[in-house]
């Protein structure tokens, strides 16, 4: 590594390799990687089209995510499978599960309505990630502005209802999770009290 160009090339290679490794890319053909750099900078005909590149990277990222977060997804699915056997739990066609804790007699919201609720959200291991109850501050929001599990449950509820929702990751924050508190593929549990329909 005597010339500045050599040093820069090597430094760039190490930097890219470190970033790729941190992202989860470990098992790929290094010679094909070098060939892609050569083809790009030499303006050679590329061996993969842009759609093929995007599809290849998408598939690889999905595989990395599944390997990294598979246990969270599996634990959630197992939890929901067992939970569905409880007599007091209702399972909807989408996979949402709920248990009526308190029955109200008020009106039900439409998807376009705003509602005021008290809620307590946790992961299946009991970790609380958000709670209007703990803050002692009810939350107001549009029904169609929250996660799918809530969007399905709220129109079935009446003012005064308090339900416990068991939400599969497909109806929650999916394979991305949310912030640092909800991991990808996480099944969520909420206690939701519908206070008023606004």
Q: Which residues are catalytic?
A: 119, 129-130, 147, 173, 190
Contact between 165 and 158 under an 8 Å Cβ cutoff? The reply is: no
Phi-psi region of 194 (alpha: psi -120 to 50; beta: other; left: phi over 0): beta
Collapsing DSSP states into helix, strand and coil, what is residue 43?
coil
183 close to 132: Cβ distance less than 8 angstroms: no
Please check whether residue 186 is in contact with residue 121, taking contact to mean a CB–CB distance below 8 angstroms.
Answer: no
Neighbour tally for 148: CB within 10 Å:
16
């Amino acid at each position: 590594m005597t010339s500045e160009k050599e040093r820069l090339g090597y430094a760039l290679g190490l930097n890219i390799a470190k970033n790729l490794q941190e992202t989860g890319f470990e098992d790929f053909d290094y010679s094909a990687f070098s060939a892609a750099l050569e083809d790009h900078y030499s303006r050679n005909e590329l061996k993969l089209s842009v759609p093929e590149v995007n599809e290849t990277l998408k598939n690889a990222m999905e595989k990395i995510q599944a390997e990294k977060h598979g246990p969270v997804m599996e634990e959630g699915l197992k939890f929901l499978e067992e939970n569905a056997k409880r007599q007091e739990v209702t399972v909807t066609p989408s996979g949402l599960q709920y248990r009526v804790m308190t029955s109200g007699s008020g009106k039900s919201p439409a998807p376009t309505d705003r509602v005021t609720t008290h809620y307590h959200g946790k992961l299946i291991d009991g970790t609380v990630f958000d709670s209007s109850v703990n803050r002692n501050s009810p939350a107001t929001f549009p029904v169609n502005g929250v996660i799918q599990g809530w969007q399905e449950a709220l129109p079935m509820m009446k003012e005064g209802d308090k339900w416990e929702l068991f939400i599969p990751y497909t109806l929650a924050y999916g394979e991305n999770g949310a912030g640092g508190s909800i991991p990808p593929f996480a099944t969520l549990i909420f206690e939701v009290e519908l206070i008023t329909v606004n």
